[in-house]
Amino acid sequence: MKKYLIYYFICLLPLFVGSCDNFEPYPLNLNTKERALNPGDSTDNNAAKQMFYACYLGLPSLHNRIDNSYLDAATDDALPTTSNSYLDYWRTGLISAGNLPDNGAWRNGYMCIRYVNQFLENINIFSPSAQLPADYIKQMKAEARLLRAYYYFEMMKRWGGVPLIGDKIFEIDDDVNIPRASIQEVADYINKEISPDVNGSCFYDLHPAQSIASDEDPNNPSNMIGHVNQGVALGILSRLHLYLASDLYNESKDVSKWQTAADWAKRLIDLNVYELYDKTSRPAFQFAMDVGEFPNKEMIMVKIAATTTYNIEILNAPAGIFIAGTSVYASRGYTSPSQNLVDAFLTLDGKSIYKNYNPDEGYDPDAGYNDQIPYDNRDPRLRRFIFTNGSPWLNQAVEIFDGGMHRGGMQGVIYTRTGYYLKKFLGDNEFGTSYTAYFHHYQIIRYAEILLNYAEAMNEFDPSNDEEITKGLIALRKRAGIRPGDDFRYGIPQTYTQELMRNIIRNERRIELCFEEHRFWDVRRWKIAENVLNKPVRGVRITKNPDRSLSFSYEDVANSSFRSHMYWYPIPRTEMWGNSAMVQNPGWSY
């Protein structure tokens, strides 16, 4: 790691300016840690808390985080609407050790690990008080340790093994030539820090798992919403062990790792704290909430939005929409979902439009799909997650046919590349004339993912256990609005091979978790990226005929190139220069 990146000193932030004695004998810009953190200063409780909240700074804000689009736009699920986006670099092979669009992940990971280590080192100088009770200090330490484990996982899924620095706080003259730990060593460290099965972990000092807070319950106050807790720890362990069992990490195909992954997901499910969001009459409020809808019981790990906004609507709703009565653009449509993703959505009866859920096998005639009326008789999640031609928005029908208001109708507007726009995270703005501001809290881990983790792990470990494999899938399809069928299996076949169920689960994961930064990592951990990411990204062209009927044709919009060394990110070149012990990932140049 380059010295200045590990050293990336918090500078005790402006947050400590308010923590001062009555007289300052030195200029504030020469303040030292010893003066800023003065345990005799009556205002230091604030300094301690702000050190603690700095540990949360690395939680991702994944909405439109790369070139105003989503990471899924670097997969087969979407394209960035703007051409020459950094996201296209993954598709065109322009990624390198010196040119990585997600490059900040390395710097931010170690910066936030440093914040945690500084907090853990300095919190002990404060004596417990009415403002900082001993139990809360213990809980803050546990939360900081969990966050540090999460930051290590985020780096592990990008680079594999990374240097482990423990509690060390590096100073400017320290030796930072630290070799990379192995993937297993990083995983063991995360387990040691947060597992309930390891003595000395932070788990039992965390707040209990919670979904909806109650101010009347002293053990579950509303000010704990947004804090990491025991449920978050189990969620991270579920995700970690799912990855460790997958082909990219599990080269020996050790089936026992799938059992471990299933066990961690089941432990979280069996808490009976979380459940799927069930207000199906208000589906938009699952992701864009008013005060009455937050928090909901599906949230496990969440980054809280401080205020209500309609920024997400402006960035993602169809390009060409104007604020009523003005010439001001109301939205930009920066993400273009692909036909590949649209085709993954089920029929209303819960069937894939493809034989065996496999596009390579062609359309399934039993599904009743007609590519000239492609949005009829489809999984309701398609309408909720993606704008298709005719979707209602701001009291008008979205026109994505060629020459329509939202595809080619005006000069100077950058329109969708695929014939679709992203709707999933947007608020309930279908029939108003202007945008309403909502809370766009980002759900880093939600209960739907845990159900899918469990189904995937059980199918790999115990493929004959139909009840446990399908339980979560049925719950998700029921919530989505799929028809139950006479057998109440919501389109899931009664008999299937392990391979077919694998396809079903992966497809369900693709549509349920779309644009939540899962597809990018899933196709890598499954080691199928060399297949799916070497095929063209497809779109639709809709022609409005003289009789006002519509004709649909389908086209390749962008070619993609994925090579085997791209399963892992390259170590940033600046880190290679600054750390003589660093070894680059195979296939990437120094």
> Cα separation of 154 and 382, whole Å?
29
- Beta bridge partners, 521, equal none
Is residue 413 pLDDT above 90, yes or no? no
Helix intervals (H) in 481-570 = 498-512, 519-525, 529-532
**pLDDT confidence band for 40 (50 / 70 / 90):** low
User: Does 28 or 483 have the greater pLDDT score?
Assistant: 483
pLDDT in tens, 78-134: 999 998 899 999 998 889 999 998 868 999 999 999 999 999 999 988 888 877 889
pLDDT in tens, 542-578: 999 999 999 999 999 999 999 999 999 999 999 999 8
Q: Tell me how far the alpha carbon of residue 134 is from its chain's centroid.
A: 34
CATH number, domain 3-67+102-261, options 3.40.50.150, 3.30.300.30, 1.10.287.1770, 1.25.40.890: 1.25.40.890
pLDDT in tens, 210-243: 866 555 555 555 567 889 999 999 999 999 999 9
Q: Report the predicted TM-score, pTM, of the whole model to 2 decimal places.
A: 0.92
Report the mean per-residue pLDDT for the chain.
89
Q: Where are the domains of the chain?
A: 3-67+102-261
Is residue 1 pLDDT above 50, yes or no? no
Is residue 180 pLDDT above 70, yes or no? yes
What pLDDT does 37 receive? 66
Q: Which of 88, 89, 72, 79 is nearest to 557 (CA)?
A: 79
Q: For residue 232, what are the contacts with CB-CB under 8 A and spacing of at least 6?
A: 146, 206, 209, 300, 301, 445
> Cα separation of 388 and 256, whole Å?
43
> Cα separation of 242 and 582, whole Å?
27
